[in-house]
Amino acid sequence: MRSFRRWRASGTGSARRGFATHSPRRETRMKLWSGVLSPFSAKVRIALAEKKLGYETLVVPWSRKTLWGPKPPEFLAVSPHGQVPVLIDGDVAVFDSTVICEYLEDRYPKPPLLPAGPEARAACRQLEDEADFAMMQEVVPLIQELFTKTEDTTRDMARVATASEALRRRYDALEKQLTGREYLCGIFSVADIATFMLVGFASTFGVVPSDGHRSLRAWVDRVRARPTVAREFEAMTRAAAAV
């Protein structure tokens, strides 16, 4: 089993209910269906923590044998695609991590996780989308070949090499975007959360920003030092060790 010592990725859980230990700033009935190996679930958990919103955690289990599953019927009832995360806020059920984060931003706007102004917010959403879709497709081969598969003889290392090269090119682009900036969108935002999770996953598998990525490396340290992110990655490290 690969250890996620360096970057705190996620492990598995059983199909059980557990209460998050976050400190809510008001009574809430929010519940979050999430997965311990899902960077999209982690994005929402960090957003909730940044906004200091309490919630109950409902876990969809993952294992190398079954991957995601078995999926509880009550989860499938609120997740039309059978994917995590899903947020339940009273009578409202919201699926898709990006939609959930936008819902939280609309309903609980302080502190903001999007910059002010329509142009800046649109640009930030595009960076989040770039991470969730394009960058995720570059990270998936590393997860599938180096984590899900446990035997070296079954791993497609050519696929790993192709994905690694694509990620290094992406690091070059991120370096340009972060030069002279503390965060991707000026303030700490959903774009930082989404991108950081995937840089973290890739780094776990050896695809780390190089010495030439000075701005990117400084950003990584800055994001990782946030208490909400540090707590999430510590929890994910413990979960990964149980796989």
Residue 95, token pair as written in the block:
């699926």
- How far apart CA 41 and CA 39 sit, in angstroms, is 5
pLDDT by position in tens, the chain (length 243): 333 333 333 332 333 333 333 434 445 579 999 998 899 999 999 999 999 999 999 999 877 777 777 899 999 999 999 999 999 999 999 999 999 999 999 999 999 999 999 999 999 999 999 999 999 999 999 999 998 888 888 999 999 999 999 999 999 999 999 999 999 999 999 999 999 999 999 998 999 999 999 999 999 999 999 999 999 988 877 777 677
Return the CATH superfamily for domain 17-107: Glutaredoxin (3.40.30.10)
Residues 6+ positions from 107 with CB-CB distance below 8 Å: 89
User: In angstroms, what CA-CA distances link 144 with 10, 42, 64, 202?
Assistant: 14, 19, 10, 12
Spatial CB neighbours of 225, under 8 Å, sequence gap ≥ 6: none
Question: What residue spans define the domains of the chain?
Answer: 17-107, 118-241
Given this model, what pLDDT does residue 172 score? Answer: 99
The amino acid at 150: T
Amino acid code (one letter) for 20 = A
Name the residue with tokens 């993952």. 62
pTM value is 0.86
Q: Does residue 227 have a cis bond before it (omega within 30 degrees)?
A: no
Q: According to the model, what pLDDT value does residue 27 have? A: 53
The class (CATH top level) of 118-241 is: mainly alpha
Is there a contact between 139 and 200 (Cβ–Cβ < 8 Å)? Answer: no
Are 75 and 33 in contact, with CB atoms under 8 Å apart? yes
